[in-house]
Amino acid sequence: GVQKVGALNNRFTVYKNPYMLENQILVGYRGSQFLETGAVYAPYVPLIMTPLVYDPTNFTPRKGVMTRYAKEMVRPEFYGKIKVHGLDTI
């Protein structure tokens, strides 16, 4: 998954997403106020476990887990994508 890899000028936190293309950078702004956010993750049903059920093919006991949540991009102007070209020639 996404890993924190460092900081630029001790000011900007840098994360690496192994699923992004190598020549793309995603930048985002997070403000100091609650409403200064670009995206919202809002879980409204916490993690719930199902009762124990038995798999009918091999009678293995199983439990399931579930959650419900909403994700919404509320301020897309807080994000930008940078495409990098020609760094291999430096």
Percent of the chain with pLDDT over 90: 82
pLDDT reported for residue 34: 86
Q: Given a cut of 80, is residue 69 above it in pLDDT? A: yes
Confidence of residue 38 (pLDDT cuts 50, 70, 90): very high
Q: Rounded mean pLDDT of the chain? A: 92
Q: What is the mean pLDDT of residues 3-32?
A: 92
**CA–CA distance, 83 with 25 (Å, rounded to integer):** 6
Which residues lie below 8 Å from residue 78, measured CB to CB, with a gap of 6+? 28, 29, 30, 37, 38, 39
pLDDT reported for residue 86: 84
pLDDT reported for residue 63: 95
pLDDT reported for residue 22: 86
pLDDT reported for residue 37: 93
- Which residue ranges make up each domain of the chain? 1-37+75-90, 39-73
The answer to whether 70 touches 39, Cβ cutoff 8 Å, is no
